[in-house]
Amino acid sequence: MRKISLLPVLCLLISGPLMAQPTQDKTQIEKERQELQRELREIEAQYGKVKQQTSQTLGQLNVLNRKINVQEQYIGSISKEIRSIDDDIYLSNVEIYRLQKQLDTLKSQYAKTIVYAYKNRSNYDYLNFIFSANSFNDAIKRIAYLKSYRTYREKQVNNIVETQQLIAKRKQQQLVRKDKKNDALTDQTKQVAELAKQKNEKAAIVAKLKTQEKDLSKQIAAKKKRDRDLNNAILAIVRREMKAKEDQAKAEAAAKKKADDLAKKNNPATTNTNPSNPNTNPANNNASNNATAKVERTIPVSKPASYLDLNAKDVELNNKFELNKAKLPWPVDNGVVTFHYGINKIENTLLTFDNAGITIATPTAGVAVKAVFDGEVSGVYNLGDGMAITIRHGKYFTTYSNLTGVSVSKGSFVKTGQAIGKAGRDDNGIGGQIDFILMIETRKVDPQPWLRR
């Protein structure tokens, strides 16, 4: 009995599931890598600007930390791509092996048909095969068999050629994958070297800042004081706005009640016509409508969650502001975030401070500072070493501090992108800098996710 090799069968069984397993969406890996490349280029440009402005400052260290973080993510994405290519190469090798075994089987079968055809190459044999039929129908079947046999041989040849072409194609794809892997490995080596360079640069900056710890401590103390004064000023403005809206709501409610009482007094009959449904009397409806026409709008009986949500214009602003998360324009062009929202810690020191918003460095002092959204200026105030502006957008408040040359006044309405002042100098007196704060009523939130990337 002829032994049948189980290896090609095992390859067919194994290769199917392997080829179907997605190691990771290649499109997603490529998209992630391109996004990291774009972000890395942006940070590189920003870091170059900060480096030109200052020498070994906290701002420079923060941008460099961000650059190192993205660099590490980028190297990780290259590793993912290399693993994906390795998986493709392995699965493709399995596929080539399977196709090669299939080709060997096709050639073996075709060789047998050639030998058989050679042994029966005489036309006499074909005629004898047909005329030896027992009946006319049997002869027709034998002719059809001979035709199908010829077709089968042609199909065998076509299968062999197609399989050879498929193997050649797979091998060519393997060469492309190997070139791609070599390019990725080269890029990875380059990026690892760049990361090492950045870490060395960071170590030098940290060491330099360590020697300036006393001066930095004074700067941070001054910043904390400015932040406290700014925070108190903002909270006072927000509470004043909320109180004004609450007083307005109460005044409108009192006016409505007074109008309702006047309507009842002028039409006493309407109060007893149908006690269960006072709105069924047309006279009562007309009187009530005439009275409430003097009121700007109806105030709900229950206390609202926020008085800043009562006015229709404010509600519209709130909705539009919320829909623009991650789409708001930056308050300055070509700005670089040097201090993030929340706790900022200076490495290798005990110095920390809590940032109420984000600190943005500008290429130079005096660049235009712009409103990030439509709103009303709620306050323009002087903090001693710079001006600050707070703008209300419904229940959202944005504050821009460390300004000079303020060009708006309290109560004025501003549009998105409108210049409201100029950026003041940074703590080193070299570049420009502003602090940008976002609050939802009295609650501070991180403004960076709201800004356009």
pLDDT 10s digits, 183-197: 999 999 999 999 999
CA dist 434 and 447 (Å) reads 13
* Residue 144, pLDDT score: 81
Domain annotation covers residue 60: yes
pLDDT range class, residue 372, cuts 50, 70, 90: very high
For the segment 437-444, the average pLDDT, to the nearest whole number, is 94
Domain annotation covers residue 300: no
CA dist 316 and 393 (Å) reads 10
CA dist 222 and 385 (Å) reads 11
**Are 203 and 330 in a shared domain?**
no
Domain annotation covers residue 219: no
Question: CB 438: neighbour CB atoms within 10 A?
Answer: 25
Question: Which residue matches tokens 């047909």?
Answer: 130
CA dist 204 and 57 (Å) reads 11
Selected residue with higher pLDDT from 132 and 203? 203
CATH number, domain containing residue 378: 2.70.70.10
CA dist 357 and 374 (Å) reads 20
Selected residue with higher pLDDT from 1 and 112? 112
* Residue 359, pLDDT score: 92
**Number of compact structural domains in the chain:** 2
With 0.75 as the threshold, say if the pTM is over it. Answer: no
> 283-322 burial, b for 16+ CB within 10 Å, e for fewer?
ebeebbeebbeebeeebeeeeeebbbebbeebeebbeebe
40-90 residue pLDDT tens: 777 777 676 666 555 446 777 878 888 898 899 999 999 988 998 898 899
Domain annotation covers residue 316: no
Domain annotation covers residue 428: yes
Pair of tokens at residue 138? 């049997």
The domain boundary, picked from 159, 187, 211, lies at: 211
The domain boundary, picked from 194, 211, 228, lies at: 211
Question: Which residue matches tokens 């490995």?
Answer: 185
CA dist 342 and 7 (Å) reads 62
**Are 15 and 148 in a shared domain?**
yes
* Residue 120, pLDDT score: 63
Domain extent, residue 420, equals: 324-450
The domain boundary, picked from 211, 234, 254, lies at: 211
Domain annotation covers residue 268: no
Pair of tokens at residue 101? 């075994």
Domain annotation covers residue 441: yes
Domain annotation covers residue 260: no
pLDDT range class, residue 127, cuts 50, 70, 90: low
